[in-house]
Amino acid sequence: MPELPEVETVARGLRRRVLGRRILGAEILHSGVIAGEPENFARELTGRQIVQVSRKGKALIIELEPALGHAADFLVVRLGMTGQFTVRRTSEFLEPHTHVRLTLDERETEIRYRDTRRFGRLRCITEDELRVLLASLGPDAQTITEEDFLRAARLRHGAIKSWLMNQKGLSGLGNIYADEALFLSRIHPLAQPGRLRKPALLRLHRAVLKVLGRAVELQGTSFRDYLDIEGRPGNFLPRLQVYQRTGLACRRCGSRIRRLVVGGRSSHFCPRCQPRPRR
């Protein structure tokens, strides 16, 4: 599942491989992954040079050189659950569930978008629309300051796990890293942010930065589908402490890891290291 570290890895890969290159054509094999009109999408991209690749939270942002007759200067991608970008030779075997092909300048390589579940979306938007999108996301989870983190958490009711994942207080965490950060900071997924003491919130802030930093270094987690630009899996999987380890021994205390549904999402935690909050 692409969360911040996976999206960061993809962004770095794209930066390395396609920065400065021009998109000669866009072929849409399945329009379901395109937000808006597919014809418009293809028209906006055709002939455009890629001048920057960045991200905020889990949103991948590909900036195009401004060009006459083109309003949308940004290709923004949300990878959903199984979205994948690869840079491949045009002649290479086209893997199943490839939905978009962006031919690059010499016509020998292309950017491919693959997405088995088709929960991901690609959209071409203007700078104004990008601004609105970015404003709808909280500070990036990798760079959020202590102050912003405390401020965002303080007023919140409801489960801290839901807050970590809702992209508004901070953006970039999904199920894997939310569970991992809560474990590292020894906080129960049902704890209420507004009721936690400051030291606990500071622990959580540090845990978020730590787990994301390490996961970025290891190029993300390949639980099921995630692969980078070159088709390689990430290396964080063996470092997972709780995610998808239900029934296995906690690496810290040996208790069995439990699973609990919070906000409709499965949460994995150690009942001893992360005691249930007093209510």
Partner DNA sequence: GCAAGCCTGACC
Partner DNA sequence: GGTCAGGCTTGC
Which residues form the interface with DNA (CB under 7 A)? 1, 32, 58, 78, 80-81, 96-97, 116-119, 155-159, 162, 165, 167, 174-176, 263-266
CA 160 to CA 277: how far, in whole Å?
11
CA 121 to CA 115: how far, in whole Å?
10
CA 256 to CA 254: how far, in whole Å?
6
Shortest approach of DNA to residue 167 CB, angstroms?
Answer: 6
**Which CB, 109 or 142, lies closer to DNA?**
142
**Which CB, 97 or 252, lies closer to DNA?**
97
Shortest approach of DNA to residue 187 CB, angstroms?
Answer: 15
Q: Which two tokens stand for residue 134?
A: 């970015």
Q: Which of 48, 58, 112, 123 is catalytic?
A: 58
Helix, strand, coil % over all residues of the chain, rounded to 5: 30, 25, 45
CA 193 to CA 163: how far, in whole Å?
8
Q: Residue 277 catalytic?
A: no
**Which CB, 176 or 207, lies closer to DNA?**
176
Q: Are strands 23-28 and 265-269 parallel, antiparallel or unpaired?
A: unpaired
CA 193 to CA 172: how far, in whole Å?
18
Q: Tell me the Ramachandran region of residue 239: left when phi exceeds 0, alpha when psi lies from -120 to 50, beta otherwise.
A: alpha
Q: How far is CA 123 from the centre of its chain?
A: 16
Shortest approach of DNA to residue 158 CB, angstroms?
Answer: 3
Shortest approach of DNA to residue 174 CB, angstroms?
Answer: 4
Q: Residue 265 catalytic?
A: yes
Q: Which of 15, 118, 259, 265 is catalytic?
A: 265
Q: Residue 6 catalytic?
A: no
**Which CB, 82 or 86, lies closer to DNA?**
82
How is residue 146 annotated by DSSP? H
Cβ atoms of residues 88 and 230 within 8 Å: no
Shortest approach of DNA to residue 56 CB, angstroms?
Answer: 12
**Which CB, 13 or 172, lies closer to DNA?**
172
Active-site residues, by number, are: 2-3, 58, 265
